[in-house]
Amino acid sequence: MIVDLLLEHADYEATPHEVRIGRYWTAVAVRHAQGIQAGLASALSGPEEHPHHRPPVRDAGRLLERSASDLAEMLRSESAAEASVGLSTLNALLRVDVPACVEVNAGDVLAERGAGKRVAIVGHFPFIPQVRKAARQLWVLELRPREGDLPAEQAAEVLPQADVVGITGSTLVNHTFDQVIALCQAAAFVMVMGGSTPLSPLFFDLGVDAVAGTCVVDAAAALRSVSEGATFRQIGGKRLLTLFK
């Protein structure tokens, strides 16, 4: 499973420094020998998480008392809020090979690779209209479908037909990545993308061809933005990078 791989290869020589859970995004900063590094993850919420009967984050107020490995292990939690903290921590602990990455928009990659082909995107992204114009056919699978989207339950029907697949990194938070990647045909071009996506080559061992994620270059700016309820575009101090197989 991808979560096992990512957690196994994380660098835990760091100390938790800050945890911020905003309206849309979660940010975790860790302190290591080279300074402070932060990571991001989508702050998903689930219908089971009602504060009157179960706090979304059980140890809220005491998270900095935990080790970096303990925070990262929260990625396994059935609570979406806790899993978001875990993924943010994992992203903060990553040593990203920045020279191996390129700055390119994921939507441009999918539009180019999907020109005249059948494309499936798991998650609704702002660049959907751009890809729809280029593709012969486009399916958008969503847990909360908008107009023109398909419900996520149709993944087993749609994904095996797709020549190009884009998968939101939020599938790591809701624990659906392994099921999604297993439905993709072997010959398909597969990209994992979004601000939650770890920029890790470990994805390539599982049939992924590109990972498009976020590298935080100014931890203070990112933490402040998340605390103030920023959407992804409003988060400061980040670079959008893509790593190709």
pLDDT reading at 26 higher than 80: yes
pLDDT reading at 50 higher than 70: no
- CA 244/CA 10 separation, integer angstroms: 20
Contact 103, 242 (CB under 8 A): yes
Contact 226, 206 (CB under 8 A): no
**pLDDT of amino acid 46:** 54
Mean per-residue pLDDT for 58-73?
93
Least confident of 43-47, 57-61, 204-208: 43-47
CA–centroid distance for 88 within its chain: 9
**pLDDT of amino acid 49:** 46
Q: Which two tokens stand for residue 243?
A: 């790593």
- CA 13/CA 173 separation, integer angstroms: 23
Mean per-residue pLDDT for 65-70?
95
Tell me which amino acid residue 35 is.
G
What is the CATH number assigned to the segment(s) 100-213? 3.40.50.11590
Q: How many CB atoms lie within 10 A of CB 229?
A: 11
* Pairing relationship of beta strands 118-122 and 137-142 according to DSSP bridges: parallel
Phi, psi dihedrals of residue 175, rounded to the nearest 5°: 65, 35
Is 2-96+219-231 a CATH 3.30.390.100 domain?
yes
Residues 6+ apart with CB under 8 A from 101: 199, 215, 241, 242, 243
Tell me which amino acid residue 2 is.
I
Q: Which two tokens stand for residue 191?
A: 């990209």
Phi, psi dihedrals of residue 151, rounded to the nearest 5°: -65, 145
Q: Where are the domains of the chain?
A: 2-96+219-231, 100-213
- CA 220/CA 146 separation, integer angstroms: 34
pLDDT reading at 11 higher than 90: no
- For residues 43-66, one letter each, b for 16 or more C-beta atoms within 10 angstroms of the residue's C-beta and e for the rest, the string is bbeeeebeeeeeebbeeeeebeeb
pTM for this predicted structure: 0.92
pLDDT reading at 34 higher than 90: no
